[in-house]
């Protein structure tokens, strides 16, 4: 389809939104798009939003490729149709809904709730914003068949989204994700949506769920006596205007920590995120105000969560006493070592334990797990795959923790998604444990590097907006897939993992082995010098991501800066060689 044909098709589709099924404000917005630049109309209507690794997510505004009341409504009708088919044997179907701080989140949550009740589905709707992990917990606690949360996680303020969860509390995976998409695609007109809400089927939930959840969080503590000794540990916490504003401080308090220092400007719930460019704790600027507060108060630890409270970024003091941000791999390594060490010390390791990490998360986790005799599984990017493995191993093995390099961590199995509330409590406890031994968290990390090797991971990306951008990303992936490099930065490529073709290819012998994971548009290159390079388009953002993992030796802590610089220079050369810099 050429540009002219595409525009004509999009124009026709857009004009359907001028009908009586849409409110006047929406119709006026569509008229403005019809009279405006072609590319803006095309971006708004050229496709329907699809479920990615995090569900339905996009820029808010009118159009089939935007998040609005109507795309939410049609997605919800498709979801309702699937639930009623899948659970037709049940007398009633129950679903829980949560939402975050974003603009329109409460509106979209109420819209979804109304449509679900109109379809004779019982709905538990949180009375105020809640972190995503609390929604995951509520599904199982209330014995729901599904759940959904209105959020765009750490995306910019223009975005919102819609994540669907299954009865196990994890995000939907095959076959349910595919089946729901199929049902949603059948809803081609807003007139197919049932809108006559049944108030009797809607129940508000809140503090009762919080208390049950916090009780489970408290039970995860491994060092209450140390927490008591270190109760005055200075902790700066910021929710970055988001949903963890209440529950993280409460979780820290039940762990015994009394000295919680807040950033008042960022405790304000605001979907415009006025104090940051992006509410993403992966980006250093998002924690700038918290670090400034920590410097002023001589704090020991800084933690910041994203808008829906499932990711956490941390900053600790380095050997010179300066606050430095730890990346997701470093924080995950500290947390895992603490959990396994304390479980070993308290007799909690029985021989059937396991952890899970994504394929782009540091191999240091695998080394740590091996040191304690704990199995380590790799899954595709997306915490839904970690939850899927948890469900598969239920009753036969004991889940310890799951990790994503993108600042997502989970311990215990009462939540089935990354949990920043619990993670904040456990990171604070790990800090107290280290300090009780006369070490800082940074020194604890250096101890890991001297024992297991200095793993340094870097993530960079290229943003490609709109339809044209999506095509450029596809072309880049196809080039690497069809013509993989023989060497990168002078080191031969020994192995290529193509998760789309589900094949692992030995570059020397050309022998191929099957990859026993679902299909995913991811490529990995393993080099002779131990470097691992991963490429994948983001499932939730208009980006292609490049993950670079290099490794060196750290013989003593004092050499950290030197080795770190060497590994950084090596990474920069690799990024330049593959055209990612």
Residues 231-244: pLDDT tens digits?
Answer: 999 999 999 999 99
pLDDT band at 195 (very low <50, low <70, confident <90, very high): very high
pLDDT tops 80 at residue 50:
no
Is 494 a member of any domain? yes
Which residue, of 438, 473, 502, is where some domain finishes? 438
DSSP assigned state of 192: G
At 314 the three-state DSSP class reads: strand
Is 214 a member of any domain? no
Residues 279 and 183 in one domain: no
Which residue, of 208, 242, 274, is where some domain finishes? 208
Residues 500 and 434 in one domain: no
Residues 361 and 268 in one domain: yes
At 494 the three-state DSSP class reads: strand
Q: What pLDDT, on a 0 to 100 scale, did the predictor assign at position 541?
A: 73
Average pLDDT over residues 299-319: 98
pLDDT tops 60 at residue 54:
no
Residues 541-565: pLDDT tens digits?
Answer: 789 999 999 999 999 999 999 999 9
Residues 191 and 340 in one domain: no
Q: What pLDDT, on a 0 to 100 scale, did the predictor assign at position 467?
A: 80
pLDDT tops 70 at residue 53:
no
Residues 184 and 260 in one domain: no
Residues 517-540: pLDDT tens digits?
Answer: 999 999 999 999 999 999 999 876
Is 74 a member of any domain? yes
**350 vs 370: CA distance, rounded Å:** 14
Q: How many domains does the chain have?
A: 3
Residues 234-285: pLDDT tens digits?
Answer: 999 999 999 999 999 999 999 999 999 999 999 999 999 999 999 999 989 9
CB 381 within 8 A of CB 520: yes
pLDDT band at 185 (very low <50, low <70, confident <90, very high): confident
**181 vs 177: CA distance, rounded Å:** 6
Residues 501 and 392 in one domain: no
Q: What percent of the chain lies above the pLDDT cut of 70?
A: 99
| Residue at token pair 């949903």 | 243
pLDDT tops 80 at residue 55:
no
Q: Is 366 one of the annotated active-site residues of the chain? A: no
Residues 244 and 378 in one domain: yes
Is 244 a member of any domain? yes
Is 22 a member of any domain? no
Residues 514 and 473 in one domain: yes
Average pLDDT over residues 404-427: 97
Residue 303 phi, psi dihedral angles, 5° rounding: -135, 140
Question: What is the helix, strand, coil percentage profile of the chain, to 5?
Answer: 40, 20, 35
Average pLDDT over residues 476-487: 94
Which residue, of 438, 470, 495, is where some domain finishes? 438
Phi-psi region of 235 (alpha: psi -120 to 50; beta: other; left: phi over 0): beta
Average pLDDT over residues 323-336: 98
Residues 557 and 414 in one domain: no
Q: What pLDDT, on a 0 to 100 scale, did the predictor assign at position 51?
A: 63
CATH of the domain at 306: 3.40.120.10
pLDDT band at 49 (very low <50, low <70, confident <90, very high): confident
Angle between helix axes 105-118 and 69-86 (nearest 10 degrees) is 40
What is the span of the domain harbouring residue 404?
233-438
Q: What pLDDT, on a 0 to 100 scale, did the predictor assign at position 363?
A: 95
Q: What pLDDT, on a 0 to 100 scale, did the predictor assign at position 182?
A: 87
**361 vs 537: CA distance, rounded Å:** 16
CATH of the domain at 482: 3.30.310
Q: Which of 442, 409, 428 is nearest to 224 (CA)?
A: 428
Residues 118-168: pLDDT tens digits?
Answer: 999 999 999 999 999 999 999 999 999 999 999 999 889 999 999 999 999
Q: What pLDDT, on a 0 to 100 scale, did the predictor assign at position 52?
A: 55
Residues 114 and 166 in one domain: yes
Is 499 a member of any domain? yes
Residues 383 and 238 in one domain: yes
pLDDT band at 2 (very low <50, low <70, confident <90, very high): confident
Instruction: Kindly name the residue from 153, 406, 423, 520 that is annotated as catalytic.
Output: 153
Is 243 a member of any domain? yes
50 token code pair? 């699809």
pLDDT band at 466 (very low <50, low <70, confident <90, very high): confident
Residues 465 and 416 in one domain: no
Is 570 a member of any domain? yes
Q: What pLDDT, on a 0 to 100 scale, did the predictor assign at position 4?
A: 85
């Amino acid at each position: 389809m050429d540009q002219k044909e595409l525009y004509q098709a999009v124009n026709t589709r857009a004009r359907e939104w001028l009908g009586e099924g849409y409110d006047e404000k929406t119709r006026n917005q569509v008229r403005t798009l019809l009279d405006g630049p072609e590319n803006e109309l095309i971006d708004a209507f050229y496709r329907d939003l699809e479920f990615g690794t995090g569900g339905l997510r996009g820029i808010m505004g009118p159009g089939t490729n935007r998040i609005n009341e109507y795309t939410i409504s049609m997605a919800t009708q498709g979801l309702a149709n699937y639930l009623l088919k899948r659970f037709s044997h049940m007398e009633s179907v129950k679903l829980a809904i949560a939402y975050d701080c974003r603009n329109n989140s409460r509106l979209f949550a109420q819209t979804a709730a109304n449509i679900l009740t109109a379809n004779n589905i019982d709905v538990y709707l949180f009375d105020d914003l809640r972190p995503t992990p609390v929604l995951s917990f509520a599904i199982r606690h209330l014995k729901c068949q599904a759940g959904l949360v209105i959020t765009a996680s750490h995306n910019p303020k223009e975005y919102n989204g819609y994540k669907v969860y299954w009865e196990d509390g994890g995000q939907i995976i095959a076959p349910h994700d595919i089946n729901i998409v199929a049902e949603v695609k059948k809803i081609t007109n807003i007139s197919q949506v049932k809108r006559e809400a049944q108030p009797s089927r809607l129940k508000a939930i809140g503090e009762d769920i919080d208390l049950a959840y916090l009780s489970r969080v408290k039970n995860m503590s491994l060092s209450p006596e140390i927490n008591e000794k270190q109760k005055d540990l200075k902790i700066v916490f910021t929710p970055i205007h988001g949903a963890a504003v209440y529950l993280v401080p409460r979780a820290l308090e039940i762990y015994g920590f009394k000295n919680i220092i807040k950033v008042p400007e960022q405790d304000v719930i605001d979907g415009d995120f006025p104090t940051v460019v992006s509410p993403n704790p992966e980006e250093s600027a998002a924690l700038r105000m918290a670090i400034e507060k920590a410097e002023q108060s001589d704090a020991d630890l800084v933690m910041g969560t994203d808008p829906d409270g499932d990711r956490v970024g941390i900053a600790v003091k380095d050997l010179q006493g300066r606050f430095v941000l730890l990346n997701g791999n470093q924080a995950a390594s500290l947390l895992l070592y603490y959990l396994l060490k304390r479980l070993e010390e308290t007799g909690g390791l029985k021989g059937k334990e396991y952890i899970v990490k994504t394929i782009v998360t540091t191999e240091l986790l695998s080394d740590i797990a091996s040191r304690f005799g704990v199995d380590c599984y790799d899954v595709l990017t997306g915490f839904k795959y970690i939850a899927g493995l948890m469900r598969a191993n239920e009753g036969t093995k004991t889940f310890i923790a799951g990790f994503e390099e993108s600042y997502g961590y989970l311990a215990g199995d009462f939540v089935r998604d990354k949990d920043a509330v619990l993670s904040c409590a456990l990171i604070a406890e790990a800090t107290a444990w280290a300090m009780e031994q006369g070490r800082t968290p940074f020194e604890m990390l250096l101890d890991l590097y001297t024992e297991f090797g200095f793993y340094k991971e870097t993530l960079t990306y290229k943003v490609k907006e709109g339809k044209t951008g999506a095509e450029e990303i596809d072309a880049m992936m196809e080039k690497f897939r069809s013509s993989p490099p023989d060497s990168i930065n002078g080191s031969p490529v020994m192995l290529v993992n193509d998760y789309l073709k589900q094949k692992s290819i030995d570059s020397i012998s050309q022998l191929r082995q099957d990859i026993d994971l679902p299909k995913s548009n991811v490529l990995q290159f393993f080099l002779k010098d131990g470097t691992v390079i991963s490429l994948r388009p983001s499932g939730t953002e208009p980006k292609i991501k490049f993950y670079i993992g290099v490794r060196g030796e750290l013989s003593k802590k004092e050499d950290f800066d030197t080795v770190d610089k060497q590994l950084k220079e090596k990474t920069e050369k690799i990024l330049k060689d593959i055209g990612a810099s």
